[in-house]
Amino acid sequence: MKDNISKPKITIGLPSYNGANTIQRAIDSLVNQTYSNFELIISDDDSSDSTSEICQKYKLTDKRIKFIKNKDRKGWINNFIYLLDQAQTEYFMWAAQDDYWDPKFIEKNLEVLESNHKIVGSISDIKLVGNIGKNYYSNPNDINSKMWLVHPIIGTYEEKIQKILEFNWSTNFYSLFRTEQLKKSIPKKSFASWDFAILLKIIKFGDLHVLDETMIFRDGGGLTSSSSIIKLMRKQNGSWYNTYFPYVTYTIFCMKNLGLRVFLKHISHFKYLNIHTGKNIVRELFYKVKK
């Protein structure tokens, strides 16, 4: 595939925060893609480790890289939104600082989008690696270990809604997307399942494709885990309301955007999200008071 380096065709948005352990590997796998006509925008959310220094060095050696250091913490969702807002290219993809990609990931997914305008996003199969892989595979070192982390989302609009709601992973979020349609699908505020909300909106514009090749490798090496659901929700969603009632905003979003009939058809899904999570939060608060 020939590149026209005068004007980027793709924007890659990489949000970073204290990712010094993994971000160099992520950037290396992106700048060495076989398709090179892209810009890579890194938005660092006021890291306290050496993430900024690492990114600055790459910026000096590769003109495709733009580095932005946020003086105040945006939070992970707002940082994702900010990166998409910067994109003026035809295609866009988010890149996680813990992931790395096969050299042909962009080339092959771009070929899918260029050849079929009914598809709005394309991704490959994904393999979990490192410590996170050990939690999901009986033998994570086996190259044939497979776990369904992405599904093609095709069919009628209602069929696509059902596939997204029934599938527990929102990993299609890391597809290569058509920028115009993606920007029309972004909720501009932070809430739990924000990534699922994007998928539920963008499928109005077309299908989500999955290449039958493993070309993304997810490590999770830079992520900090917590047994506290309250801490996790506070970190993701910020406000006290979204911390203690995390899925109410998402539920209201779906009721408005899916239509009442379709929403009621899947009401059990939203009951489970809210009641199950609510029970866990109440249980955690009870144990804290008891101590």
- pLDDT score at 236: 63
Place 160 in a pLDDT band, splitting at 50, 70 and 90: very high
- pLDDT score at 219: 86
- pLDDT score at 122: 98
Q: Percent of the chain scored above 90 by pLDDT? A: 70
Indicate the burial class of 61 (C-beta count within 10 angstroms; 0-12, 13-18, 19 or more). exposed
Is residue 229's pLDDT more than 90? Answer: no
d(CA 5, CA 50): 30
d(CA 177, CA 109): 9
The closest alpha carbon to 122, from 207, 44, 34, 29, belongs to: 207
Is residue 107's pLDDT more than 80? Answer: yes
Greatest distance between any 2 Cα atoms in the chain: 65
**pTM of the entire structure?**
0.89
d(CA 175, CA 13): 12
Residues forming CATH 3.90.550.10 domain(s) in the chain: 10-218
Place 209 in a pLDDT band, splitting at 50, 70 and 90: very high
The closest alpha carbon to 194, from 91, 127, 202, belongs to: 202
Is residue 282's pLDDT more than 80? Answer: yes
Instruction: Give the CATH H-level superfamily of domain 10-218.
Output: Spore Coat Polysaccharide Biosynthesis Protein SpsA; Chain A (3.90.550.10)
Is residue 143's pLDDT more than 80? Answer: no
| Digit-coded pLDDT (tens) for 35-94 | 999 999 999 999 999 999 999 999 999 999 999 999 888 888 999 999 999 999 999 999
Lowest mean pLDDT among 76-85, 109-118, 190-199, 227-236: 227-236
Stretch (H or E) spanning 129: none
- pLDDT score at 225: 46
- pLDDT score at 221: 52
Which residue stretches of the chain are H helix? 23-31, 51-61, 76-86, 105-115, 130-134, 157-166, 179-183, 194-202, 229-237, 240-244, 248-258, 260-265, 267-290
- pLDDT score at 222: 43
Whose structure tokens read 């899916």?
Answer: 258
